[in-house]
């Protein structure tokens, strides 16, 4: 079994941090599954991934299920506010 690369480890750490942050929202569930977080709430569902953004020198960004960028991967709270708001309303 190959060891994860630096970017894979960073991606997993950012996704794990976002998963925990999303759990503070009432009625919202968040589950990290491999390379994505599945988020569900009374207003809907969302899938969040973390991947390089070519137009930003390949820095890691969070992406939604429509493959639209949400925020840089180090902006955990900002991303949680956006995603949490989507699945709560």
Q: Render pLDDT for 14-38 as a digit per residue (tens, 0 to 9).
A: 999 999 999 999 999 999 998 999 9
Q: Is residue 18 in some structural domain?
A: yes
| Tally of structural domains, the chain | 1
- What pLDDT is attached to residue 80? 98
Q: Render pLDDT for 45-77 as a digit per residue (tens, 0 to 9).
A: 999 999 999 999 999 999 999 999 999 999 999
Residue 83 confidence (pLDDT) above 60: yes
Q: Is residue 1 in some structural domain?
A: no
In 3D space, the residue among 43, 22, 44, 42 whose CA is nearest the CA of residue 32 turns out to be 22
Q: Is residue 60 in some structural domain?
A: yes
Residue 4 confidence (pLDDT) above 70: no
């Amino acid at each position: 079994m190959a060891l994860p690369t630096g970017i894979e480890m960073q991606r997993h750490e950012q996704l794990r941090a976002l998963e925990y942050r999303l759990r503070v929202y009432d009625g919202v569930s968040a589950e990290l599954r491999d390379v994505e977080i599945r988020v569900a709430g009374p207003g809907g569902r969302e899938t969040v991934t973390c991947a390089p953004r070519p137009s930003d020198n390949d820095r890691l960004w969070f992406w939604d299920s429509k493959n639209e960028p949400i925020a840089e991967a180090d902006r955990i709270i900002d991303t949680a506010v956006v995603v949490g708001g989507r699945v709560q309303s």
